[in-house]
Structure 1
């Protein structure tokens, strides 16, 4: 395992309370500020630039994926459930399952898989152990609870063929690996513990898989990003100039890693806390997937 402190360029200065959900869609980088319910895009990721705000909701916004063949429309993990977000900012709820939980909760991170389904996790506002769940939204808009008993659900991240899914339970410092049937979206077999973090190593947050099949993980509380081989061993650790990195995204055509960070919980934040960072890396990623209706 190697460790480096690579110079990280600040693309967007700190100011976000909880920037998250960074993804590359087509020719743009898209991310959210969860607690303020805002969605942003960056069209030019090569240097400091001004993000464009695409939406501002009156509920927290955990993550989005574009709706295939519907320009300007998104599927969103927002508030207490899953909604369609139109180009004019209107929300159409598909389901709000977290309204039916015993403690106040919200949706968190989410991503579309290569088969066109949208997966998103949840968490209790107070971090109640076991109150988090993982949901899958199918092509017909049905929202299915796939897993429960988790605490703070982050990711998921999928391999390019859609058969392997990584999910982090941030609160317990564990990354799980699941086998997925791409045809049905069902989980196959029992979950595998892919990595378990020790005290002082930080907590696994947002994740992505690179073109070599390796898993990149933002390490909340550790000011670092880790890269794991598919066999589970740690390949590399990158130090970033913010204690709470929250999500990672690899440019699909350029050797750049985008990292969102949080000001939340930082006593003396700098411009890099609550920022979007860019770090040169030796690998590339793949463009994120869309939610496909009726596939």
Structure 2
């Protein structure tokens, strides 16, 4: 059986992993950094934010990081000349982002501030066009988390953590979403970050169950990995599944950087990124 290995340790609070240009990039929310790490474990801090970074998720647009500053309600673009505003999202509480092949992007949000102890409210998905225009394209999202687009751009899959499911939408030519449906009912699973593989299956991270599970559309479980701490997110390269794991000790412990229980793990796969 293929073995899981530790690539990087002492991560304060890892999230939003992305495979890009031969390296794994991830956000460390508590150190306010975006970090790139090579398959050999060579670590580079690519960006250090001067804004609050709980959360700070990102994806790549034209090879440049597109970063969600949730506290400011902004979508920021990082280039060689520094940060610039790509779009104004309005409000706060945004979470995950995924870029489309046509230069737009989707951003979701929980609808409430979990870290501040606010009561649950359903969230939404916004679409930011290439021109920076922003509009709401889906409502009643039960704590939106990881998102993935199929390679042809026709389907957006969203993890609804508070509904224990993956939800799919058909993508319209203008970026709108339609034909909402349950892509996979996860039972008691609590989906966090997700990664779509070339077969069309999805790897689903789960913090409380300390696992990452590969599921087919309809919910069939194809493979499951378990860990000694929560799995927050995952990403795929051509032959490796990268996993962001760390202890979850409750909201009161978030911000305690001395804990540093975060790790980046690797696991060989026969089916790589889509």
Higher relative contact order (CA 8 A, sep 6+): 1
The runs of at least 4 aligned residues of structure 1 exceeding 6 Å deviation read none
Distance 2:28 2:248 in 1: 11
- Of residues 218-227 and 112-121 in structure 1, the stretch that sits farther from structure 2 once superposed is 112-121
Are the aligned partners of 1:179 and 1:188 in contact in 2 as well (CA < 8 Å)? Answer: yes
Residues 85, 131 of structure 1: CA spacing in aligned structure 2 closer, same or farther, 3 A cutoff?
farther
Counterpart of 1:179 in structure 2 is 170
2:22 maps to 1:27? yes
Distance 2:99 2:127 in 1: 9
Match for 1:188 among 178, 185, 200? 178
- Mind listing any 5+ residue stretches in structure 1 that lack a counterpart? 99-104, 287-295
Distance 2:145 2:261 in 1: 19
Deviation at 1:9, TM superposition (A): 1.5
Q: Matched residue of 1:171: which SS?
A: helix
Deviation at 1:223, TM superposition (A): 1.2
Match for 2:143 among 152, 164, 168? 152
Counterpart of 2:262 in structure 1 is 274
**Aligned 1:82-101 pairs, distance under 5 A:** 82-87=75-80, 89-92=82-85, 94-98=87-91
Match for 1:234 among 221, 224, 228? 221
Counterpart of 1:62 in structure 2 is 56
Counterpart of 2:240 in structure 1 is 256
Distance 1:128 1:146 in 2: 23
2:194 maps to 1:207? yes
Distance 1:273 1:67 in 2: 31
TM-score w.r.t. the length of structure 2 is 0.85
2:159 maps to 1:163? no
Deviation at 1:22, TM superposition (A): 0.7
Deviation at 1:264, TM superposition (A): 4.0
Match for 1:9 among 5, 9, 19? 5
Residues 25, 15 of structure 1: CA spacing in aligned structure 2 closer, same or farther, 3 A cutoff?
closer
- Mind listing any 5+ residue stretches in structure 2 that lack a counterpart? none
Counterpart of 1:76 in structure 2 is 67
Deviation at 1:15, TM superposition (A): 2.9
Deviation at 1:175, TM superposition (A): 1.3
Distance 2:224 2:260 in 1: 18
Residues 122, 81 of structure 1: CA spacing in aligned structure 2 closer, same or farther, 3 A cutoff?
farther
Q: CA RMSD in A?
A: 2.6
Distance 1:57 1:264 in 2: 25
Distance 1:36 1:166 in 2: 29
Deviation at 1:75, TM superposition (A): 1.7
Residues 152, 37 of structure 1: CA spacing in aligned structure 2 closer, same or farther, 3 A cutoff?
farther
TM-score w.r.t. the length of structure 1 is 0.79
Counterpart of 1:37 in structure 2 is 32
